[in-house]
C-alpha cells in the first residue's frame, strides 16, 4: 500500500461517490483499511476529499468546521473497519457522509462498538 496512487483512488472515489455502506466491497474496504493503517495522512486527505465531493454532488453544504470533518473521518474509519471485519446486515447509509442514527442504531455498529472497545481497553 506504500506509495498509493492518489489518481487511482480519486478516480475510484469519483466513480463510487454515492455508494452506501452496504455496497462497499470487502476488497475495497481492505484497501481503505490498509491506507488508514499504513498511510494515515493520505487516508485522511482522500476521505475528506470524498466527503467534500459527495456534498458538492448532492448540492449540500460543505463541511463548516474541522470538527465536522474529524467526526466524519472517525465514522468513516469505523465503517471501513466493520466491512473489513465482515459484519453482516450493514445499514444502507452514505459511505462518504454521516450515517446518523441509522448507523448508530444498527446491529453491526453495536456489535463493533463492543468488540472494538474491548480491544482498546474501553469496555
**Helix/strand/coil (H/E/C) assignment for every residue in the chain:** CCCCCHHHHHHHHHHHCCCEHHHCCHHHHHHHHHHHHHCHHHHHHHHHHHHHHHHHHCCCCCCCCHHHHHHHHHHHHHHHHHHHCCCCCCCCCECCCCCHHHHHCCHHHHHHHHHHHHHCCCC
**Residue 3 above 60 pLDDT?**
no
Q: Can you tell me the distance from the alpha carbon of 3 to that of 122, in angstroms, rounded to the nearest whole number?
A: 33
Pair 33, 41: CB distance under 8 Å: no
From 37, 55, 49, 41, select the one nearest 13 (Cα to Cα). 49
**Residue 122 above 60 pLDDT?**
no
Domains of the chain by residue range: 6-119
Confidence of residue 92 (pLDDT cuts 50, 70, 90): very high
pLDDT in tens, 25-41: 999 999 999 999 999 99
The grid coordinates listed for 95 are 459511505
Please, which residues bridge with residue 45 across strands? none
Q: Record the pTM.
A: 0.89
Amino acid at each position: 500500500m506504500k506509495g498509493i496512487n492518489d489518481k487511482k483512488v480519486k478516480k475510484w472515489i469519483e466513480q463510487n461517490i454515492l455508494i452506501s455502506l452496504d455496497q462497499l466491497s470487502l476488497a475495497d474496504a481492505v484497501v481503505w483499511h490498509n491506507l488508514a493503517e499504513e498511510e494515515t495522512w493520505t487516508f485522511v486527505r482522500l476521505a475528506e476529499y470524498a466527503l467534500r465531493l459527495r456534498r458538492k454532488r448532492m448540492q449540500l453544504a460543505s463541511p463548516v468546521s474541522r470538527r465536522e470533518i474529524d467526526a466524519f473521518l472517525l465514522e468513516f474509519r469505523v465503517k471501513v473497519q466493520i466491512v473489513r471485519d465482515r459484519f453482516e446486515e450493514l445499514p444502507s447509509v452514505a459511505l462518504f457522509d454521516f450515517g446518523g442514527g441509522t448507523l448508530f442504531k444498527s446491529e453491526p455498529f453495536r456489535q463493533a462498538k463492543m468488540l472494538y472497545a474491548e480491544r482498546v481497553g474501553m469496555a
